[in-house]
Amino acid sequence: MKLAGFTEESIVDGPGVRIVFFFQGCVHHCPFCQNPTTWSFDNGTEISLEQIEKLLDKKYKETSGVTLSGGDPFCNLKDAISLAKLIKEKYHINLIAFTGYTLEEILILSEKNKDYLTLLSYLDTLIDGRFIMALRSIDINTRGSRNQRCIDMKKTIENNYQIVLASEMMDMSFYNNKYESF
């Protein structure tokens, strides 16, 4: 698969100290994105699932979990599913994914491609929505802007895709609960 990169120890991409894989390719092109070099689907470095497995074999016991970031993992569905499946089926560790799509948009896309649901099914938490500079806050853990939501995917799927927030990851005082689409 092609990645923009990875880091073995991040404290800003979810709870604890996490391994983060940055996918290459993103269609959202949010103004003021911090990683515009990840937009192109032509850049990035090839890395095999076997190489990633070797890294996880060494690190999984000491990590708080894995975060899929980007770029956008949901713009790299096949590779993101392979990686998510490995993480959950072999290592059973916490898995978060960022996406520029809202969950509502993903559910619409899934009507034509069930792979979107497959990727959702492996996640503990989805952090959704584009980055919006006007809603940026340094006081919200993990999220870049206040429109983004930390969604408890296990509970949300149990709840027939009615959104259940991962309240421990959300700072509710900064979240007005009225998501505006754009």
130-159 mask for ligand SF4 (x: CB under 6 A)? xx----------------------------
From the list 1-9, 68-76, 106-114, 135-143, the region that binds ligand SF4 by CB under 6 A is: 68-76
CB atoms within 10 A of CB 160: 6
CA distance 151 to 175: 13
99-118 mask for ligand SF4 (x: CB under 6 A)? -x------------------
Contacts to ligand SF4 from residues 12-31, by CB under 6 A? 26, 28-30
Peptide bond into 25 cis (omega under 30): no
User: Applying CB under 6 A, does 71 fall inside the site for ligand SF4?
Assistant: yes
CB 171 within 8 A of CB 148: no
Residue type, 151: I
Backbone phi, psi, residue 41, to 5°: -80, -5
CB 94 within 8 A of CB 67: no
Smallest distance, ligand SF4 to C-beta of residue 44, A? 13
Smallest distance, ligand SF4 to C-beta of residue 125, A? 16
Note the residues at the interface with ligand SF4 (CB under 6 A). 26, 28-30, 33, 35, 38, 70-72, 100, 130-131
